[in-house]
Structure 1
Amino acid sequence: MSAPVRSWNGLPQAAHARQLALQARDAALPTPDGSLLAHGNGRSYGDSCLNDGGTVLLTRGLDRFIAFDRARGVLRCEAGVLLGDIVALALPQGWFLPVTPGTRHVTVGGAIANDVHGKNHHVAGSFGHHVRAFELLRSDGSRLLCGPQQLPQWFAATVGGLGLTGCIVWAELQLMPVPNPFMLVSERRFAGLDSFWALNAAAERAAPYTVAWIDCLARQPRGIFSSACHAPPQPDLPAHRAARRHMPFMPPVSLVNCLSLRAFNALYYHRPLAPAPALRHHGGFFYPLDGVRDWNRIYGRRGFFQYQCVLPPSTCRDGIAAILARIAASGQGSFLAVLKTFGARPPAGMLSFARPGATLALDFPNRGAASLRLFADLDAIVAQAGGALYPAKDARMPASLFRAGFPAWEAFSAFIDPRFSSSFWRRVNP
């Protein structure tokens, strides 16, 4: 019997009627009773990858490379290929993902369906901006070849469309050239959000990658700001051995609590910073948590929530300050608190999350009613600021906040495959 399909944070629970594997890109979709939803590697947080009471179509079996133009960096692969598989193939040949999220354990289909973003939105936009084409398999058996110039409306609906327009079976991506696997990384401590905004503005003019870790339990927000670029060609590169750590068990309670957070945050903030710029392997910069297998287990059996918002440029400074002040007052700090800005490039898809402004991503242990009360307060700040929450990292946003944050939702609805649905979509469209 196959293991139950879950999201990465373990919330909410879902009982799927069936789990069916799709192994070949030329196969027809099954026709089970009820609704259908494609499910990649399960790295979404919340219920956008779940279909409670329906069928999930497991796409990891679509894991083959189709073609790679090594001269131009154009890669065609099946939708179940992991981003890490692409890096392993392309990086030794001088190519890298133009946009990558904080984990390499994401399928290409999932990266498109959630239009993932990275630390370089101000120069490269989101993942969908680098998709040249994909094939969309609909439940009626039709196959649509979509791209920015071919069926552009279907392309825009599917990029960021949460897997609701059908099943992506293959995609063609434009990769970016890089000299080697290393980065030049600069780090600086900051105290106060004014310092963050100043550092970020200067760094975005000089570096393609920018991001900050925030200590959101501190009375005055503080953190470490990082900027980076790909290292130029070098005669001698250091040897690299990937760390292999593992969280071997699921504790009965979360190991992340107020005491452990305060201790961790103090140690991390005051850790020695390498002289800038420091030569670092790309894995440690882009995918630090991938170095700990099953790290999500540290939150225990009750799971955890991720809360990621984006606020527009006109309100983001005051809004981010208000959110961090509310979190600090609650004592419910976040182990992973990441603050960065998005550039001015228009979204690639109708429901794309990344848009001009600033985004704050936070993880919280599931404390039941106390967590939900905090999130309701944060929702009010986000709504007043004209912001939005990221569906790929949500397990409880109200329908009103979704519709306000994604005003194209109604036009998008016309492109939904009539056989496809998800727990998330039913929740925000009751």
Structure 2
Amino acid sequence: MSTSTVTLTGWGRIAPSVAELAAPASDAEAAALLRQPRAAGGAVIPRGLGRSYNNAAQSAGGLVLSTGRLNRIISLDPATGVAVCEAGVSLEQLMVAGLPAGWFVPVSPGTRQVTIGGAIAADVHGKNHHVAGSFARHVLSFDLLAPDGESRTMTPDDELFWATAGGMGLTGFITRATVQLKRVETSLCKVDTVRTADIDETMALLAEHDSRYDYTVAWSDSLARGRGLGRSIITSGDFAALSDLPAAARSDPFEFDPRSRLGAPPVLPPGLINRYTVRLANAAWYRKAPRLREGELQTIGQFFHPLDAIRNWNRVYGPGGFRQYQYVVPFGAEPAVRRSFEMVSAHPAPSFVTVLKRFGEGDPGLLSFPAPGWTLALDFPARTPGLGPLLDQLDQLVVRNGGRVYLAKDSRVPAGVLEEMYPRLPEFRKLRAEVDPSGALASDLSRRLGL
């Protein structure tokens, strides 16, 4: 089938590379593309909706297989909530299809513009990790095209299943998956909001909320210092019961409008996001929040995906793009979390989207990111002076405390440091060499890190 030469980036809009792009419309077409001869050094990598923040779905000089045309929901059982989907189905599609029958995706990251294949490859997590784990825990099986074009059905009993979950597309091309959805009574969430004074209160309340809510997260002011260090707005909630809705809303309890209301301009001046504008925005956002508000009904978009309301919000960072840095450190490493806030608040690097959460038990994925502990995500304009040394220092803090960074977001960690973070990386490399001895599958990310 035909291909086109394209320049691709991830959602962070950094590190562009040129590759051939193909969009197979069937398993057979995808298998044929995997089998076709390639020039020396030319490799293949799958790509969904391009929401990895880095270059995980790029392969310079190779072939990128888009799942854009493999986007059918094959079946969705309204009685059991079991959905069979092609890999290119987005979480938004699954929400639109499942909600009328009372089913929601079991795990949702901060955007619903993620494909099923991508959700497995990155083993995505959400605000409910402490009770539901990450996405792969809810996958009953998936079909995987090996580099030789042979299709295999993988279940959680298979070693290759857990190499693929979190494996960033490096074990094969997922064509379809069977996913168990979550039963809900309505499409609204009943949300409590608390404004905290500092990092100690923030972490204490997040720990307390683990046993009270299915979903919880803190937005933190990364630039606050002194007594206000780590001050945050915690939002915690659960799906509302039908009885929680006002009478007027009970006639259509599963109403869901996924449309974006605003769009970022195609061109924004460089430097718009800087320490001064973010400090003002952080302070305004923090003061706007109520000290305590209970039982507010919020839509799925408001509670789970506020940034999806703005199309192409990544453009706000200007032509230089942005880097997201996300780590997890174990429970007991609370001083490291505090220290990371001190490091960021003392540095010129500004982060407005700063999110602190707690993870529950991880799954057996060889490269799956979540593990029991604290996870902090930060967004920085990529051209911020001195950003590299700051992130290097954060790497060392994370390693010293037995933590790791998220492969779906990392764009600069050194390969040697990654090996310290992921002790099962040798197992992944060994299994990958067995299923892909010729090294046909590779991405810009995998080449940088030696995955």
**Shift of residue 406, structure 1, vs aligned partner:** 1.1
Q: Aligned pair in 2 of structure 1 residues 233, 348: CA closer, same or farther (>3 Å)? A: farther
- 3-state SS of paired residue (2:248): coil
Is 1:228 equivalent to 2:237 in the alignment?
Answer: yes
Q: Equivalences for 1:361-380 in 2 at 5 Å?
A: 361-367=377-383, 370-380=386-396
Q: Equivalences for 1:30-429 in 2 at 5 Å?
A: 30=33, 31=36, 32-33=38-39, 34-149=42-157, 152-219=158-225, 220-234=229-243, 235-237=247-249, 244-273=261-290, 275-315=293-333, 317-343=334-360, 345-367=361-383, 370-416=386-432, 417=436, 418-429=439-450
- Taking the aligned partners of 1:7 and 1:280, their CA distance within structure 2 comes to 30
Which consecutive aligned stretches of 4+ in structure 1 deviate over 6 angstroms post-superposition? 238-241
- 3-state SS of paired residue (2:224): coil
- Taking the aligned partners of 2:260 and 2:22, their CA distance within structure 1 comes to 34
- 3-state SS of paired residue (1:394): coil
Query: For residues 96-139 of structure 1, what are the alpha-carbon distances to aligned partners after superposition, in whole Å with 9 as ceiling and x for unaligned?
Result: 01111000000100000000000001100000000000000012
- Taking the aligned partners of 1:24 and 1:190, their CA distance within structure 2 comes to 51
**Shift of residue 314, structure 1, vs aligned partner:** 2.4
- Taking the aligned partners of 2:79 and 2:447, their CA distance within structure 1 comes to 45
- Taking the aligned partners of 1:55 and 1:129, their CA distance within structure 2 comes to 30
Q: TM-score, normalised by structure 2?
A: 0.91
Conserved 8 A contact 1:183-1:229: yes
**Shift of residue 86, structure 1, vs aligned partner:** 0.3
Query: For residues 250-273 of structure 1, what are the alpha-carbon distances to aligned partners after superposition, in whole Å with 9 as ceiling and x for unaligned?
Result: 224032111110111111001143
- 3-state SS of paired residue (1:386): coil
- Taking the aligned partners of 1:240 and 1:52, their CA distance within structure 2 comes to 39
Amino acid at match of 2:265: P
- Taking the aligned partners of 2:116 and 2:315, their CA distance within structure 1 comes to 25
Q: Aligned pair in 2 of structure 1 residues 171, 243: CA closer, same or farther (>3 Å)? A: closer
Conserved 8 A contact 2:187-2:299: yes
**Runs of 5+ unmatched residues, structure 2:** none
**Shift of residue 409, structure 1, vs aligned partner:** 1.0
**Shift of residue 2, structure 1, vs aligned partner:** 6.4
Aligned-residue identity in percent:
40
Number of equivalences: 425
Conserved 8 A contact 2:199-2:232: no
Alignment RMSD, CA only? 1.6
- 3-state SS of paired residue (2:328): strand
Q: TM-score, normalised by structure 1?
A: 0.95
Conserved 8 A contact 1:128-1:348: no
**Runs of 5+ unmatched residues, structure 1:** none
- 3-state SS of paired residue (1:373): helix
- Taking the aligned partners of 2:415 and 2:78, their CA distance within structure 1 comes to 45
Amino acid at match of 1:107: T
> 1:14 is matched with which residue: 13, 17, 26?
17
- 3-state SS of paired residue (1:15): strand
